[in-house]
Each structure stands twice: as C-alpha cells, then as structure tokens.
Amino acid sequence: MTASVAPVSPAAPASHPLAAPLARTAVTLMFTVNGLLIGGWGGSLPSLRDKLAVSDGQIALMLFLAGIAGITSMQVGGRLSDVVGARRIALVALPVLVAAVVTLGLADSYPVAVVGAALLGLGNGAMDVAMNAIGVQVEQARRRPVMSSFHAFFSIGNLLGAAAVLGLAAAFGLAGGAIVTPLLLTLAAVAVVVLVVLVRVAPTAAPVEHRDAEGGRIRIPRAAYVLGVMALAFGLSEGTAVDWSSIHITDVARVDPTTGAVGLVAVSGFMVVIRLFGDRLVTRFGRRAIVRFGGVSAALGYLAVTLVSSLPLLVAGWALVGLGVGMIAPQVYAVAGHLGGGRVLAVVVTFGYAAFLAGPAVIGFLVRHVGIHHAMAVPAVLCAGIVALAATMPREDSDISRRRETDPLA
C-alpha cells in the first residue's frame, strides 16, 4: 500500500521544511488565531443577545446552525486537505472565519447574525481539521511530539479572545450590546494581520493518497472509529466542564456567580498548563500512557465534584478535570492524523466536536431530572471508558505504520 502519511520515525529527514522552527511557529499562529476568534465569539454572545434583543432560544438556534455547518465543513475540509494539501484549506478557511466575525460584529438584525453564525461554523470546521492535519505533518518531520503545544496555544487564544470582552469594557467603558462591534472588529483585524503573515510563512503540507499498491482506494481504518468513540467521551466531558463547571460550583457550594466562575478558570488554566508540558510527557511516556493518565485524572475529578460540596475541594476537582481532558484531545487527534491524514481526522474531530456541542445539553437534561451533583457522574464514567479504550492506541507512533502494513483496515 502507499503509506502517504508516515509516522514520526528516525528515518524522517531533519532538513525537511516542515521540521524548521518557522513551520512550527506558523502552525502555532494558526491554532492561536483560531482560538482567539472562537473565544471572542463565545465571550460576545451575552452582549450580542442584548444588542439584538433576542431570546436564549434564538441564541441556541444560532449555536446549533453553527455546529451543523462546522460538522459539514469538517468532512469536506478533511478530504480536501488530503487532496490539495492542508495549508491551502487552512488559508481559505481563515478568511471565511474572519468574514463570519465581521458579519456578527456588524449584524443589526437576527437574520444577519444567523448568516454570520453559519459562516463561522463553515470556516471553523474546515480550519480545525486542516490545522490539525498540517500539525501532524510538522510533528512527523520534526520526529518528536508537538501537538500538545499547538492545542495549548489554541486554549491560550481562546482565553485571550474571551478576556478581550473585559479588556474593552474596562478601557472604554463599554457594556452590553455596545461592546459587540468594537470587540469582534478588533479581533477580525488582528486575524487579518495574522493571515497576511501566514500566507508568507505557512509551510506547504503534502497531499495524502489513500490507495494500495494496486491502485485501489483504501477504506477508512476501523481504528478511526475507536478513536471517534474516545473523542465522543472527551468531547462531552470537556464541553460539560466548560459549560457547567461555574454553575456547578455556584449551586453546590452556594456561592455567588462571580465566585462560581472560578470553576471555569480552574478548568481552562489547567488545560493550558498540561498542554504546554504535554509534548515532553509524550516523549517520555508515550501517547497511550498520557491518554490513560488523562482519563484517570478527569474521571477522578468528576467523581470528586459529585461527592464534595466545599468550595476548595470543588475547585480542586474541576482542576483535575481540566488537567485530564487537556491531555487527551491532542494525542487522539495526533494518532488519527498519523493513521490516515485529513479524512481520518475529519471523522474523529467530528465525533469530538458533536459531543462537545451536544454534551452540555444532555447534561442539562440530567441536571433537571437527577440534580446537578449527580449529573456529573456521567462524564466520570465516560472518562473511565477512555482509560479502557486507550489500550487500543499504539504505544509509539512507529507502531502505526506497522499496523497499516499488516492490516490496512486496522
């Protein structure tokens, strides 16, 4: 068979352009600007609701349409990344994402905002898969893990985008709907500058063939769907942590909402920290061990928040959740990319993205029926399942090529 996406191995040429520091910097910029725009969008939603005078149900519909557009775009973008190269898809998707943010910033009616949300889903879905695909090729060329650091800078960008709401409010005395336009247009301008830089420095990612020695098309490997199930589990767990941690602490510890926000701070902060150190840990212990440890950490964190009620212990529990889920996604996505390029990434990222979007709603249903304390047992069980499924992952990236050579559908 044609092994077009080779794993990291000692045979990889160190002089490959994708191994250069500039290539890593360019991909880091992609992840950062993507996180910045998505964080700004998320942080602006309450203000956008005020500006347009719409209901929570209408905001939910916008989020749903953005999610559907994103899932569709992931499938198309993943396959096109293999055909024409991930660089091109990322550099086409980013202007779509910028256009979406501008549309949302200038929207003066709900229909215009819906168009902006759909554009945001289309741009983000394709860019998400493409930047992960090119990140995997940089990792292959460098012959050592780098995916955790890329995801760390996405998280940093996300935090900066959300924090820009507070920054503009403090600097210019803006509040409510008045902050939406200057916020989103400022972030869009930053993204345009980054886009100009990326056009010049982003590395070229090779197209990926999926044909065997006889020219027949190779089907998506079965292992992709196992990775997809893992993505479902960590997607729901991460989405629950992002959307429910602050509410959980507010209700269980009986504190004011401002204090309760420390839950999301703990989750996000520990996700960034572990991702910054994740590549070193993968080098030392391997992806399988890191995913197992992440699953154990997140499961223990969720178990803790179902059993305790004091503020310090709840914060510690949510910190463990952030530590755990922060480890898992970069490694699962890296294995998917090594296994089969953009089309396998599209499958796995879609599972995770769908669970991230739908999971909090599922948890919300459980909260109404069993209470917020007991509802957190569900992601605890899912994270424990990740520990078990991690046994199917290769210990080393070099094991992936051996699997493909012995069984193309492995």
Cα–Cα distance, 125 to 93 (Å, whole number)? 8
Helix 147-172 × helix 110-142 angle, to 10°: 140
Task: Report helix, strand and coil shares of the chain as percent, to nearest 5.
Answer: 80, 0, 15
Class of residue 284 by CB neighbours under 10 A (exposed 0-12, middle 13-18, buried 19+): exposed
Amino acid 395: pLDDT: 67
State the average pLDDT over residues 227-239: 91
At residue 343, the pLDDT reads 80
67 pLDDT tier (thresholds 50, 70, 90): confident
Cβ distance 385 to 198 under 8 Å?
no
DSSP 205: P
Of 3-7, 256-260, 293-297, 301-305, give the lowest mean pLDDT range: 3-7
For domain 223-406, the question of CATH label 3.40.50.1240 is answered with: no
With tokens 């909090």, the residue in question is 360
Delimiting residues of CATH 1.20.1250.20 domain(s) in the chain = 17-201, 223-406
Residue 38 CA to residue 168 CA, distance in Å, equals: 17
Least confident of 40-49, 295-304, 382-391: 40-49
Asked if the model's pLDDT at residue 12 lies above 50, the reply is no
What pLDDT does 167 receive? 77
Q: What confidence score (pLDDT) does residue 108 get?
A: 92
**Which band of pLDDT confidence, cut at 50, 70 and 90, is reported for residue 295?**
very high
pLDDT at 83 over 90: no
End-to-end CA distance of the chain: 13
- Give the list of residues 6+ apart from residue 149 with CB closer than 8 angstroms, or none: 28, 275, 276, 278, 279
The tokens describing 331, both together, are 């490694």
4 or 395: which carries more pLDDT confidence?
Answer: 395
Lowest mean pLDDT among 45-49, 287-291, 297-301, 392-396: 392-396
Q: In Å, what is the CA distance from 166 to each residue of 175, 240, 247, 337?
A: 9, 24, 20, 37
pLDDT at 213 exceeding the cut of 60: no
Q: Average of pLDDT values for 86-104? A: 95
Mean pLDDT, the chain, rounded, equals 84
pLDDT of 100 strictly over 80: yes
Share of the chain above pLDDT 90, in %: 42
What is the crossing angle of helices 262-285 and 287-307, to 10°?
150
Q: What mean pLDDT comes out for the span 125-143?
A: 90
Q: Considering only 1-15, 49-63, 218-232, which range has the smallest mean pLDDT? A: 1-15
Does the global pTM surpass 0.75?
yes
What is the rounded CA–CA span in Å between residue 86 and residue 278? Answer: 24
For position 174, what pLDDT does the model report?
67
- DSSP assignments along 189-229, one per residue: HHHHHHHHHHHHHPPPPPP---B-TTSPBPPPPTHHHHHHH
243 or 383, higher pLDDT: 383
Nearest residue to 90 (alpha-carbon basis) of 167, 160, 28, 169? 28
pLDDT digits (tens, 9 = 90+) for 354-408: 888 777 778 888 888 888 888 899 999 999 999 999 988 876 655 554 544 444 4
Identify which has the larger pLDDT, 256 or 196: 196
Mean pLDDT, residues 341-359 taken together: 83
Contact 131, 27 (CB under 8 A): yes
Tell me what pLDDT residue 218 has. Answer: 63
Report the SS3 class of residue 409. coil
pLDDT of residue 215: 53
Residue 214: the pLDDT is 54
Q: Which CATH number fits domain 17-201: 3.30.470.20, 2.60.120.260, 3.40.50.300, 1.20.1250.20?
A: 1.20.1250.20
pLDDT of 171 strictly over 80 = no
> What per-residue confidence (pLDDT) applies to 405?
47
In this structure, of 78-82, 121-125, 324-328, the range with the lowest mean pLDDT score is: 78-82
